A and B are shown apart, each in its own frame.
Chain A
Amino acid sequence: MGWLDRLTGRDKSAHKAKDRLRLVLIHDRTDLAPGQLDALKDELIAVISRYIEIEPQAVEIQLSQDGREQYLVANIPLRPTRRARK
């Protein structure tokens, strides 16, 4: 734990509790285990790749919340194609 964490109170147990709860509640609400999210990501990459060229390493998939609404947020960078430049 660094001095910055100590100074900002981020090493305090209440802060840890909040961070842990934030994650566990998202998974509880969606009934999606953390491991399943990885499987979803792999399948999504496979499906999209059939239609369009993407950068598989750069794909980001995460669950986020706004109030009690859950969102699946995907960031899928496309690979630039040579055809587009002609």
Chain B
Amino acid sequence: MPGTVLTITSGKGGVGKTTATANIAAALAKLGQKVVCLDADIGLRNLDLVLGLENRIVYDLVDVVEGRCRLRQALIRDKRLPNLFLIPAAQTRDKTAVSPTDMVHLCNELKQEFDWILIDSPAGIERGFRNAIAPADQVVVVTNPEVSAVRDADRIIGLIEAEEKGPARLLLNRLNPQMVRNGDMLDADDVLELLAIDLLGVVPEDEAVVVSTNRGMPVALDEKSRAGQAFRNVARRLLGEDVPFMDWDSESGFLQRLGRLFGRGD
């Protein structure tokens, strides 16, 4: 059976697309899936760095598209997870070096060999986004519980629908449960109600993400990290498993429990 192309996008930059791509990929590979990550952010590549594969790059996406190497030569295998591969973006070119049609052809070839092709989309709604969305079978929109990120996510969801690539699913990243409890951060329910799409996962704010990114080691491989657990849950949901959403209530205080008692619970 041919593989699935999953595009990870957001509209706004800096919400965690690359981190999400690296971690969902690592978690899927850990579950035995054969996965390739494609960095579509030509000119601003980073997926190589987040995955810790930056020293192994010889050829890139543009080399493949322009025929300077064979597809196989541009695939970098992760030594920790032998099922995980990366095709890096070119760093010295721009988004117009690749067309949406190029991306469709490339992904059709990759689908024969891989279970999952994860595309890390650049921020924005221009050519880079169109390249990333063109071959998608499924789309994940990453956002943060914060006004500008939610607004941009809504815009991108509209564009995904217009391209007939929907329905997109939501990954809410960097949720701070303590701030939600204090009424100072939008909760997952609020964001879902505003955006009116299905939820794929909620990733809590977690210092372990910064630490693991520093080391070039996906946090999904850290058994103790809560963010890592959230990404592993996302991977299982992608494989069709019905995984309950993580429960932050274990830390909740007396007032929250009292609130739930009177039916105002979350």
Contacts and interface: CB of A to CB of B under 8 A. Distances in A.
Nearest to B154: A25
A34 interface: no
Contacts of B183: 9, 12-15
Interface string A1-33: 000000001001111011011101100110000
B196 A18 contact: no
Q: Which of A13, A65, A68 has the most CB of B within 10 A?
A: A68
Interface string A35-59: 0000000000000000000000000
Interface in B161-200: 161, 180, 182-187, 190, 194, 196-197
A20 B196 CA distance: 16
B147 interface: yes
A17 B187 CA distance: 11
A67 B157 CA distance: 13
Nearest to A67: B196
Contacts of B186: 14, 17-18
B196 A17 contact: no
Nearest to B166: A68
B12 to A, nearest CB: 13
Interface residues of B, number: 20
Contacts of A24: 151
Query: How big is the A interface, by class?
Result: 10 to 19
B150 interface: yes
A85 B151 CA distance: 53
A25 B143 CA distance: 15
A18 B184 contact: no
B100 interface: no
12 contacts: A12-B182, A14-B183, A14-B187, A15-B183, A17-B146, A17-B186, A21-B150, A22-B194, A25-B151, A25-B194, A29-B154, A29-B158
Interface of B: 146-147, 150-151, 154-155, 157-158, 161, 180, 182-187, 190, 194, 196-197
Given A12-B184, A65-B196, 6 more contacts: A12-B183, A17-B186, A17-B190, A21-B147, A25-B151, A28-B154
Interface of A: 9, 12-15, 17-18, 20-22, 24-25, 28-29, 65, 67-68
